[in-house]
């Protein structure tokens, strides 16, 4: 039985716009992000991706705000799930990227060059996130067999699941790209086999609506 999980990276937040490392901190969507969220809803409602039976979302504000237009368009509730949160970044929370590079140069270098072995801001490690989000994905598949689930989450969890689908190991995280805000990544799980059918798709965003951090 095939279960489809549509991963939607939250739209542009104020943190993305200001180049602040947000992690578990709360910042809302930017005005552009609110427009991106509407475009995502239009794309989903118009059949651009398989129609979701369920909407799950990280409980952080920027993800919930991204999910809201789709929930309204489809008449589905948003089920908040804290296991879909972004990586917790400890001392980096709320700090500008330029300041992170200056204040924590070695930690920042590892995060950029060897992400599998990184622990941003002495917070959650990439390996810990890989396990957390992998367990969350497996639970979604077990809970909604044969269904299509929209899961609104964040850049690093999506990168981890993309890595899992492509390589099956966190060790290859450095070979995985970042996907843009408000992009879709579609994973299918059938009989224990994981397949990515779309990665970081942002074709529904045009011109100024596309923001790549």
Print the SS3 string covering the chain.
CEEEEEEEECCCEHHHHHCEECCCCCCCECHHHHHHHHHHHHHHHCCCCCCCCEEEECCCHHHHHHHHHHHHHHCCCEEECHHHCCCCCHHHCCEEHHHHHHHCHHHHHHHHHCHHHCCHHHCCCHHHHHHHHHHHHHHHHHHCCCCEEEEEECHHHHHHHHHHHHHCCHHHHHHCCCCCCCCEEEEEEECCEEEEEEEEECCCCCHHHCCCC
User: Does 24 participate in catalysis according to the annotation?
Assistant: no
Per annotation, catalytic residue among 86, 154, 162, 204:
86
Residue 188 designated active-site: no
Q: How big is the CA angle at 9 (ends 194 and 183), to the nearest 5 degrees?
A: 85
Q: What positions carry a catalytic annotation?
A: 10, 86
């Amino acid at each position: 039985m095939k279960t489809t999980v549509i991963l939607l990276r939250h739209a542009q937040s104020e943190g993305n716009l200001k180049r602040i490392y947000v992690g578990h901190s709360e910042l809302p969507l930017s005005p552009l992000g609110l427009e991106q969220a509407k475009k995502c809803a239009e794309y989903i409602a118009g059949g651009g991706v398989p129609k979701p039976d369920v909407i799950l979302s990280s409980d952080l504000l920027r993800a919930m705000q991204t999910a809201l237009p789709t929930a309204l368009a489809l008449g589905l509730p948003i089920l908040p799930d804290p296991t879909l949160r972004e990586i917790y970044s400890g001392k980096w929370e709320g700090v500008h990227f330029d300041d992170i590079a200056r204040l924590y140069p070695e930690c920042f270098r590892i995060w950029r060059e060897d992400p599998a072995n990184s622990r941003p801001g002495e917070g959650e490690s990439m390996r810990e996130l890989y396990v957390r989000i992998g367990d969350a994905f497996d639970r979604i598949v077990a809970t909604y067999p044969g269904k299509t689930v929209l899961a609104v989450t964040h850049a690093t969890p999506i990168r981890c699941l993309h890595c899992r689908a492509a390589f099956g190991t966190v060790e290859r995280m450095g070979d995985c790209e970042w996907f843009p805000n408000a992009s879709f990544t579609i994973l299918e799980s059938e009989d224990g086999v994981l397949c990515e059918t779309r990665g970081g798709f942002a074709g529904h965003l045009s011109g100024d609506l596309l923001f790549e951090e």
